[in-house]
Structure 1
Amino acid sequence: MAVYTQVSAEALGDFLARFDHGSLLSAKGIAEGVQNSNYLVDTTADRFILTLYEERTSTDDLPFFLAMLDHLADDGNPVPRALPDRDGAAIQQLAGRSACLIEFLTGVSVSHPTPAQARAAGAALGQLHESLAGFTQTRANPLGADTWRPFLERCGRDIDTISPGLFDRTEAALTAVLAEWPRDLPMAAIHSDLFPDNVLMLGDRVTGVIDFYFACTDIRAYDLAVMHTSWAFDGDGTTYDPAIGKALIDGYASRFPLSEAERAALPILARGACLRFLLTRAWDWLNTPADALVTRKDPLAYWRRLETYLKDDLFA
C-alpha cells in the first residue's frame, strides 16, 4: 500500500455518496507498500479501505482480482471484498484513477512473527490454495520468471549505484536460477506477495489476508516460497529463523499437502523469489517519485536472503 494520488475531502465525499455506507468523517493515507494508492476511510457507518489503482495495476486485471476475492470470501477465507455502489458497480473512478471501496478487516500485521503465528499464516495460505483449486479464471504473471532478465536489463547499470557490481552478481545468479527453473509443477491462481504486512492477525489467529494485486496464475508452490523468503528472515535479510521457516511449511502442509516434487523444488523457487523482489525493489529504488508518500524497500535485503539460500538448504 502507498499514496501516489492525492484525493481531496470534497472528492472523497462525493465518491462515498454513491454508496450506502455513511458520510465521510476522516481519511488518512497509508504509506506502506509500493503498488497502489490507499486510504483508511472512516464514515458515519463504518471503516473502509479506499484503493486507487496506479499505472502498475491494469484496469483490465481488476475483474480477475475481484472475482478471486469473491471466490475466496464465499469459501470462508478472511479476505476483503470490494463493495458495490447502489447500481451494483464495484469498480469506480476517482481522481483520474480506477478505484474501489473495500471492506476493512480487523487485526494487525506482525513484524516479528512467532512460530505459532507463522504456522497459522502458512495454514491460511494452504486454505487459500485449497479454495482456489476450484477457481477457473487465469492471469499471466507479469513478474514471472520469464520477465526477470528483461527487468534487470531495464534497471541496467544504474543498479550498481545501489551496490557496486550488483548488476553482474544479479545476472550470474539469474542465469543459474533460470537454468534450473521447474516447468512441470502444478499451476494455479496464487497470491504471490504474502509478506507479513499482507496478513492480519489477532494473537495467533489470522483475521485477514489482503493486497491481492499481484495475484496471478503461476507455480502454486512458488507462493509458499515467496512467503518463506519474507517471513523467515529479519527485515534486512541477514538472519534466518529456522523455527519460523519450519512452522510456515508445516502450517501450509496441514491444510494443503505438498508433493515430493514441490518440496524438492522449494530451494530453487525461493532463490527465484529472492531475485524477483530484488529486481522490483531495485527498480522502485531507482524510479520512485520524490514526492510520493511511499516507503521504499531495500533491494539488498533480498540479495542477502539469496546468499543464504545459496549457502544452505533451508528446507531440509
Structure 2
Amino acid sequence: MAVYTTVDDLTLAAFLSGYDLGNVLSFAGIAEGVENSNYLLRTDKAHYILTLYEKRVDADDLPFFMEVMTHLASKGMSCPLPVAARDGSILQKLMGRPCAVFSFLDGTSSRYPNREKCRALGASLAEMHLHASGVTRRRPNALGPQSWQPLLDSVGVRADEIAPSMQAMTQTRLDSILESWPKDLPQGVIHADLFPNNVLFIGDHLTGVIDFYFACDDVLAYDIGICLNSWCFEADGSFNITKSRSLIRGYQTIRPLSDAEIAAIPVLAAGSAMRFFLTRLYDWLHTPKDALVSPKDPMEYWSILGFHQSVSGVGAYGFD
C-alpha cells in the first residue's frame, strides 16, 4: 500500500492546469513503496509519476533530492527526471502535501536478481557515484553510524521482545562495528537504499534507478555494502558469492576501488546490516497494529549481520 493521500478528479485537474503534460487518459495509485503516495499518470503525450510526500519525508530535504535526480538525468543516467511546471518550479503542493511530477521509466524490479542483473547494478552504482560529484547541495546521512547507538537506546530493553538478550547482543555487535569503522575513505552522494525493488530491468538490461529519498553524503563504498546485503542473499538466508563477485566486478569496471575501500567492505557491509536491523527493529516495535504498512522483520538483517561478522576476509565477497 503506497497511497496514503487520495487525489480527487477536480483537484487533479486544477493541479495539472499548471503543467504542459497533455490530456489525462488515466490516473491510478501505485501499490509499491512505503514512504510516499505515488500515482501513475497517463496522458496523450507520455506517462508520468506523481509523488506526494508524506510525513516521514522532511520537506527541507526535497530540493537536494530533486537536484540529485535532475543532475544524474542530465548525465544520461536512467533515473526519474523531475518535470517543471509552466512557471519553472519543480516542487508543488497538492492536498496539503509537497509533491512533484516525474518522467516514467519502463521496466520491472526483481526480488531475487540473477548475476547479470547484479553486474549491471554494480556498474550503474559506480556511474551514479561518479556523476553525482557535480551535485552542489549537501545532505548528511541522518541514518549513518552516529545514529545507530541512539536508535538502539530508543528501543532499549524492548529489543528483548523479539529474542532473549537481544539488547545486549546488539550492543556487543554495534560496539565492534563502531570501533572498526573506517576513516578517510572517498565520500560523495550515495543512494543509501538501493534495494532490488528500486532498480528496474527489461530482461537483464537495467532501465532505471528510482527512489532517491534516502540519498545523502557518505562513504561511497558503504553503498556497496548496502547492495551486497540486499542483492546477494538468497531466500534461505545464504550468501551468494557469485552474485557478489558480479556486483563488485560491475562496479570496478566503472570505478575501481582502492585497497583501503576493499579492505573495509566487511565492516561497511556489517554497518549497513546494523543500520537496517535497527530501523526495522524500531518500526517492528513501534508501528501500530492497524497501520497501512506492515513493518519488515528485523531478524532478516540480524542474520545478515552475523554473516559479515563471521567472515575471515574480503575473499568471502568474491575479491581475488
Q: Would you say the 8 A contact 1:24–1:42 is kept in 2? A: yes
Q: After TM superposition, list the pairs within 5 Å mapping 1:163-174 onto structure 2.
A: 163-174=163-174
Residue 285 of structure 2 aligns with which residue? 286
* Cα shift readout 1:71-123 (whole Å, capped 9, x = no counterpart): 11111111111111111111011121101111110011111211111101110
Residue ranges of structure 1 left out of the alignment (5+ in a row): none
* Deviation, structure 1 residue 273: 0.1
| CA-atom RMSD in angstroms | 1.9
Structure 1 residues 235 and 8: CA distance shift in structure 2, 3 A: farther
CA distance, structure 2, for counterparts of residue 108 and residue 212 of structure 1: 17
Q: Would you say the 8 A contact 1:4–1:294 is kept in 2? A: no
Counterpart amino acid of residue 295 in structure 2 = R
Q: Would you say the 8 A contact 1:192–1:223 is kept in 2? A: yes
TM-score, scaled to structure 2: 0.92
Q: Would you say the 8 A contact 2:67–2:135 is kept in 1? A: no
Runs of 4+ in 1 over 4 A off after TM superposition: 289-292
CA distance, structure 2, for counterparts of residue 156 and residue 233 of structure 1: 29
CA distance, structure 2, for counterparts of residue 280 and residue 234 of structure 1: 21
Q: Would you say the 8 A contact 2:109–2:197 is kept in 1? A: yes
* Deviation, structure 1 residue 23: 4.0
SS at match of 1:133: helix
Q: After TM superposition, list the pairs within 5 Å mapping 1:19-38 onto structure 2.
A: 19-38=19-38
Residue 149 of structure 2 aligns with which residue? 149
Question: Structure 1 residues 163-172 or 48-57, which shifts more?
Answer: 163-172
Residue 69 of structure 1 aligns with which residue? 69
CA distance, structure 2, for counterparts of residue 40 and residue 116 of structure 1: 29
* Deviation, structure 1 residue 8: 2.9
**Is 1:106 the equivalent of 2:89?**
no
* Deviation, structure 1 residue 57: 1.5
Q: After TM superposition, list the pairs within 5 Å mapping 1:59-208 onto structure 2.
A: 59-208=59-208
CA distance, structure 2, for counterparts of residue 192 and residue 26 of structure 1: 33
CA distance, structure 2, for counterparts of residue 250 and residue 44 of structure 1: 42
Counterpart amino acid of residue 300 in structure 1 = M
CA distance, structure 2, for counterparts of residue 103 and residue 89 of structure 1: 15
TM-score, scaled to structure 1: 0.93
SS at match of 1:311: coil
* Deviation, structure 1 residue 164: 3.5
% of aligned pairs identical? Answer: 46
Higher RCO (CA 8 Å, separation ≥ 6 residues): 1
CA distance, structure 1, for counterparts of residue 42 and residue 235 of structure 2: 31
* Cα shift readout 1:40-81 (whole Å, capped 9, x = no counterpart): 233343322121112222111111111111111111111111
Residue ranges of structure 2 left out of the alignment (5+ in a row): none
* Deviation, structure 1 residue 138: 1.5
Residue 270 of structure 1 aligns with which residue? 269
**Is 1:311 the equivalent of 2:310?**
yes
CA distance, structure 2, for counterparts of residue 287 and residue 42 of structure 1: 37
**Is 1:219 the equivalent of 2:211?**
no
CA distance, structure 1, for counterparts of residue 55 and residue 25 of structure 2: 29
Counterpart amino acid of residue 33 in structure 2 = G
Counterpart amino acid of residue 39 in structure 2 = Y
SS at match of 2:83: coil
Structure 1 residues 252 and 224: CA distance shift in structure 2, 3 A: same
Q: Would you say the 8 A contact 1:3–1:294 is kept in 2? A: no
